Amino acid sequence: MAAGLDTKLPQSDDEVVERGALPHGVKQVALFFLKYVVGISLIVWMVWTGKVDLSVLAKLPPDLLIEASALTLVFTLLGAVRVRYILLKQSIHTGVLQCFLYNCAGILYSAFLPGGISGDAVRAYLFMKAVPNHRLAFITGYFSNSYCCIIAYLKLYTRI
């Protein structure tokens, strides 16, 4: 082993989350990905049956599609960094990848799955499930996140 590398494996869920890894076993990770497969299957079904019309994309220039995809990726990553920063201030150590994946799950729920639950609630649920001892911190963290976004939107659109 190279000098300076930490070879100790994390033992507890708190220690795993501190290092930025997902604190789940293989069964939970498989179930998590199965949920994504179901979600993606729903999207494919909606496209296949014509409920989502993708013929509009063929009329757009490829450069615009690439730029839009890149911006979507960057905005989602910035959202993950923002959530990680807010949670870090609440003494909850998460990884950027974990925040990014939970943001993507929230976006999936908000955009494609109709119902009374929003993407923010899904993200909060996933985080509370991953780190169950910090429920109040997650609720205040997400309230802070929503409050910051509302203030930023108001400043941007009303030029306060």
Residues 129 and 64 in one domain: yes
Of the residues 9, 39, 58, which one is the last residue of a structural domain? 58
Q: What is the mean pLDDT of residues 124-142?
A: 78
C-beta separation of 124 from 139 below 8 A = yes
Separation CA 54–CA 121 (nearest Å): 29
Q: pLDDT per residue over 16-26, tens digit each?
A: 555 555 555 67
Q: What is the mean pLDDT of residues 76-86?
A: 87
Residue 7 lies in a domain: no
Residues 95 and 121 in one domain: yes
Residues 97 and 157 in one domain: yes
Q: pLDDT per residue over 89-120, tens digit each?
A: 878 888 889 889 888 888 877 776 666 667 77
Separation CA 139–CA 81 (nearest Å): 17
Domain count, the chain: 2
Residues 87 and 65 in one domain: yes
C-beta separation of 14 from 24 below 8 A = no
Kindly report the number of other CB atoms within 10 A of residue 99's CB atom.
Answer: 24
Q: Give the residue numbers spanning the domain of 85.
A: 60-160
Closest CA to 133 of 48, 15, 11: 15
Of the residues 42, 58, 74, which one is the last residue of a structural domain? 58
C-beta separation of 20 from 95 below 8 A = yes
Separation CA 132–CA 160 (nearest Å): 39
The DSSP code for 10 is P
